[in-house]
């Protein structure tokens, strides 16, 4: 009997380890031959711990399992959710990047290969560098970290640069609140990231790679380090990748709690052992990146999507999507929401469908007030914008951004002035200090919002002006995009900013 | 906890960081190794690192002080990180943090008088779909309410 209990850290945060222990204990007491697999999560965090029992009919799921339900589960007396693949929330997805996540044992390379893994890399090994870059360009893949820059163009720049050493750097500094896709794929299917980095290396002529993984994710660090070790032992990494005679190897590096290191140039500085301050561009990291050498810096999801593009072909991937947003988006539905988790689907679903239909509205049962899309630097979208389709340009036109595709839902008790203040406070705490609009502006922003809170309406135009300055004058997205949450809160929820003065009048 | 252990010697510090000297960009891995060994980055490490990496002491100090992770003093026996990011706020993280700090009678970054626990803010643990979340010594806990927090505090010996 094969039983799956997720080892994903969100599942563990909800008690999966205790359930796994109880299962092992109970099986032993009954003399049952149970093979316990710690898979990744299927992404249905609202059902975690989601235990699956392998049967001739398929994998049968049991949601929100507690340790004291384990005897009933083994007796077949616990109510099941039926086949996991048939659960509506799961069945409605298009799983390309996350096809294996939650299905396989994350550290079993044979399981990985039996489920489509390594097909893409083997195909890439038969291609020239420029054919590889062309394939990525044709897929329409854009950077999933937030900026949405076409991945193929970035790769082409690095491929055409001449240098003794080039690098693939994976940005796994997933600091945006509301996002956990990077963590989930690293914990649930780490070989897909390793394979994607190897393909990137072959494409641009880089033989070394680094994953800069944030320290707040100790489970992901442990799993990825083990996966790299296994990949090296099995010849997927090293001087002779899968017997091709071509080299690619990689290392995992741990961040140190600085949000700004998710910005690619400060990440590179941090990787070099410096303060994580932002570098002015140009020069582009593609030409002068890590240690001054040409470097591909890509987000985890971008790189982990590369294998499926090579496995199924660029056209297959490009056939999904909307406008210039091709392929799938890995929505992370979070915050005050009934059914939260990771939902992978083609670009194009509307914000309202995601929040109400998929997410099921708020967890508290109160009306939705706002949804922050794209992390701490993303706009607060009011319910009146729920018809906005999930697409890079579509969100841009509505004064927002998709970013890393995290959505944080707030109910009507949220105080948007307080959220705007928090955005400025966060920017002040995390600013690298290199440019003045961000370093000083964020501090002045907190003070100005406090004046508004105390009833000084004259501070509102000042805040607007400050936001303009930060937007136009900051070196990177931290100072440049903090105005998004602040101004969207002010614009869409003016009542929260009309404080004491009006009350006194 | 704040006083007892003797300061590590230069030799001990070299023993921890020297094996990492051949890495590309070795300073962060070295600082992590020091903190893993002693629970903080000892002041005595600054000149040693500067010597090994051919950097100024000010540069090394600048790197240590840039990152939230690196502690310059020992922490309590346990470290409780409470997420303050938006997703957790949407599920009541502010109230949870306030009541926890009040219960312990300390402020952010403070340590309880008995040395049991240090409380630090963290901005996102990736538990955004099961908020609010906290991390106790590297172990994450989701959907934390007051009752669950009380159990956590009892476990760390408050």
Query: Does A180 lie at the interface with B, CB-CB under 8 angstroms?
Result: yes
* Secondary element (H or E) of residue A409: strand A406-411
- Which residues of chain B have a CB within 8 Å of the CB of A430? 123
CA distance to A180, A236, A491, B70, B110, per residue, from B74 (Å):
31, 41, 45, 10, 11
Query: Does A245 lie at the interface with B, CB-CB under 8 angstroms?
Result: no
Domains and CATH numbers, chain B: 10-66 (no CATH), 78-155 (3.40.30.10)
CB–CB contact B29 A253 (8 Å): yes
Q: Residue B27 corresponds to which tokens in the numbers above?
A: 């300073």
Identity of the residue in A12, A216, A340 whose CB atom sits nearest the CB atom of B122: A216
Identity of the residue in B25, B53, B130 whose CB atom sits nearest the CB atom of A14: B130
User: What was the pLDDT predicted at B158?
Assistant: 87
Partners of residue A208 on adjacent β-strands: A167, A249
Is residue A102 assigned to a domain? Answer: no
- Do A188 and A328 reside in the same domain of the chain? no
- Do A310 and A229 reside in the same domain of the chain? yes
CB atoms within 10 A of CB B108: 12
Q: Within 13 Å of residue A258, how many CA atoms lie on the same side as its CB?
A: 30
Does residue A147 or residue B21 have the better pLDDT?
A: B21
The whole-angstrom distance between residue A398's C-alpha and the CA centroid of its chain comes to 22
- A485, A504, A483, A474: which is closest to A260 by C-alpha? A474
CA distance to A262, A312, B76, per residue, from A257 (Å):
10, 37, 19
Number of domains making up chain A: 4
Residue of A nearest to B83 (CA): A177
- Do A423 and A403 reside in the same domain of the chain? no
pLDDT tens-digit series, residues B68-126: 999 999 999 999 999 999 999 999 999 999 999 999 999 999 999 999 999 999 999 99
- Which residues of chain A have a CB within 8 Å of the CB of B54? none
Cα–Cα distance between B46 and B50 in angstroms, integer? Answer: 6
**ipTM of this complex:** 0.96
Q: Which of B86, B89, B93, B136 to mutate to test the interface with A (most CBs of A within 10 A)?
A: B86
When pLDDT is averaged across residues B3-18 and rounded to a whole number, the result is 86
Distance in Å, alpha carbon of A419 to nearest chain B alpha carbon: 8
Cα–Cα distance between B36 and B31 in angstroms, integer? Answer: 9
CB B150 within 8 A of CB A362: no
- Do A450 and A314 reside in the same domain of the chain? no
- A333, A438, A356, A350: which is closest to A398 by C-alpha? A350
- Domain containing A28 equals 2-87
Q: How would you classify the pairing of strands B117-122 and B78-83? A: parallel
Query: Does A404 lie at the interface with B, CB-CB under 8 angstroms?
Result: no
pLDDT in tens, chain A (505 residues): 999 999 999 999 999 999 999 999 999 999 999 999 999 999 999 999 999 999 999 999 999 999 999 999 999 999 999 999 999 999 999 999 999 999 999 999 999 999 999 999 999 999 999 999 999 999 999 998 888 899 999 999 999 999 999 999 999 999 999 999 999 999 999 999 999 999 999 999 999 999 999 999 999 999 999 999 999 999 999 999 999 999 999 999 999 999 999 999 999 999 999 999 999 999 999 999 999 999 999 999 999 999 999 999 999 999 999 888 999 999 999 999 999 999 999 999 999 999 999 999 999 999 999 999 999 999 999 999 999 999 999 999 999 999 999 999 999 999 999 999 999 999 999 999 999 999 999 999 999 999 999 999 999 999 999 999 999 999 999 999 999 999 999 999 999 998 755 544 4
CB atoms within 10 A of CB B146: 12
Residues 415-474, chain A: which have Cβ within 8 Å of B? Answer: 419, 422, 426, 429-430, 432
pLDDT tens-digit series, residues B51-65: 999 999 999 999 999
User: What was the pLDDT predicted at B3?
Assistant: 45
- Do A69 and A133 reside in the same domain of the chain? no
SS (HEC) of A411-437 = ECCCCHHHHHHHHHHHHHHHCCCCCHH
Residue at token pair 């009350």? A503
- Do A311 and A195 reside in the same domain of the chain? yes
**All residues at 6 or more sequence positions from A389 whose CB lies less than 8 Å from its CB, including other chains:** A322, A347, A348, A349, A350, A351
User: What was the pLDDT predicted at A146?
Assistant: 82
Is residue A358 assigned to a domain? Answer: yes
- Do A260 and A338 reside in the same domain of the chain? no
CB–CB contact B142 A14 (8 Å): yes
- A135, A104, A214: which is closest to A170 by C-alpha? A214
State yes or no: pLDDT of B1 exceeds 60. no
């Amino acid at each position: 009997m094969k039983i799956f209990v997720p080892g994903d850290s969100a599942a563990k945060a909800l008690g999966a380890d205790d359930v796994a222990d109880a299962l092992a204990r109970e099986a032993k007491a009954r003399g049952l031959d149970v093979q316990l697999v710690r898979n990744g999560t299927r992404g249905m965090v609202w059902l975690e711990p989601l235990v699956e029992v392998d049967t001739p009919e398929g994998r049968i799921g049991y949601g929100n399992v507690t340790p004291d339900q384990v005897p009933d589960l083994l007796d077949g007396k616990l109510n099941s959710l039926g086949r996991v693949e048939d659960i509506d929330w799961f069945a409605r997805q298009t799983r390309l990047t996350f096809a294996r996540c939650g299905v396989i044992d994350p550290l079993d390379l044979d399981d990985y290969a039996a489920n489509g893994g390594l097909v893409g890399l083997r195909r890439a090994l038969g291609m020239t560098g420029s054919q590889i870059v062309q394939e990525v360009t044709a897929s329409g893949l854009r950077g999933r970290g937030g900026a949405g820059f076409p991945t193929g163009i970035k790769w082409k720049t690095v491929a055409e640069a001449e240098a003794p050493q080039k690098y693939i750097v994976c940005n796994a500094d997933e600091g945006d609140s509301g996002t956990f896709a990077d963590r989930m794929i690293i914990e649930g299917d780490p070989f897909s990231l390793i394979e994607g980095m190897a393909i990137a290396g072959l494409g641009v002529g880089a033989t070394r790679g680094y994953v800069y993984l944030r320290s707040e994710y100790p489970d992901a660090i442990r799993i990825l380090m083990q996966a790299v070790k296994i990949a090296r032992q099995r010849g997927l990494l090293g001087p002779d990748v899968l017997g091709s005679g071509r080299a690619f190897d990689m290392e995992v590096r741990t961040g140190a709690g600085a949000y700004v290191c998710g910005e690619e140039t400060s990440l590179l500085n941090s990787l070099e052992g410096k303060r994580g301050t932002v570098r002015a561009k140009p020069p582009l990291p593609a030409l002068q990146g890590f240690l001054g050498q040409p470097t591909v810096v890509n987000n985890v999801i971008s790189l982990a999507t590369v294998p499926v593009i090579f496995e199924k072909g660029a056209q297959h991937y490009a056939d999904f999507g909307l406008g210039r947003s091709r392929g799938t988006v890995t929505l992370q539905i979070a915050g005050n929401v009934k059914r939260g988790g990771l939902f992978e689907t083609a670009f194009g679903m509307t914000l309202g469908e995601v929040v109400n239909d998929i997410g099921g509205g708020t967890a508290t049962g109160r009306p939705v007030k706002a949804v922050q899309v794209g992390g701490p630097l993303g706009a607060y979208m009011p319910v009146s914008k729920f018809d906005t389709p999930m697409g890079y340009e579509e969100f841009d036109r509505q004064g927002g951004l998709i970013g890393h595709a995290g959505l944080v839902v707030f109910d009507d008790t949220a105080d948007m002035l307080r959220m705007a203040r928090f955005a400025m406070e966060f920017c002040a705490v995390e600013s690298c200090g290199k440019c003045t609009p961000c370093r000083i502006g964020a501090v002045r922003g907190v003070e100005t919002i406090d004046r508004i809170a105390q009833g000084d309406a004259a501070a509102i135009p000042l805040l607007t002006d400050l936001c303009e300055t930060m937007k136009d004058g900051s070196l990177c997205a931290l100072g440049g995009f903090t105005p998004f949450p602040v101004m969207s809160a002010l614009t869409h929820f003016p009542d929260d900013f009309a404080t004491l003065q009006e009350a006194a009048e | 906890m704040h006083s007892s252990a003797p300061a590590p010697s230069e030799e001990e510090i070299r023993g921890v960081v020297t094996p990492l000297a051949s890495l590309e960009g070795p300073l962060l891995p070295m600082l992590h190794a020091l903190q893993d060994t002693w629970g903080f980055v000892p002041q005595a490490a600054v000149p040693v690192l500067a010597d090994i990496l051919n950097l100024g002491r000010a540069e090394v100090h600048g790197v240590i002080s840039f990152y939230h992770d690196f502690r310059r003093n020992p922490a309590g026996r346990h470290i409780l990180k409470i997420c303050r990011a938006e997703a957790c706020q949407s599920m009541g993280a502010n109230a949870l943090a306030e009541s926890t700090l009040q219960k312990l009678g300390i402020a952010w970054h403070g340590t309880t008088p008995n040395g049991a626990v240090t409380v630090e803010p963290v901005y996102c643990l990736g538990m955004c779909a099961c908020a609010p979340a906290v991390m106790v010594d590297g172990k994450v806990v989701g959907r934390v309410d007051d009752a669950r927090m009380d159990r956590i505090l009892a476990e760390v010996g408050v």
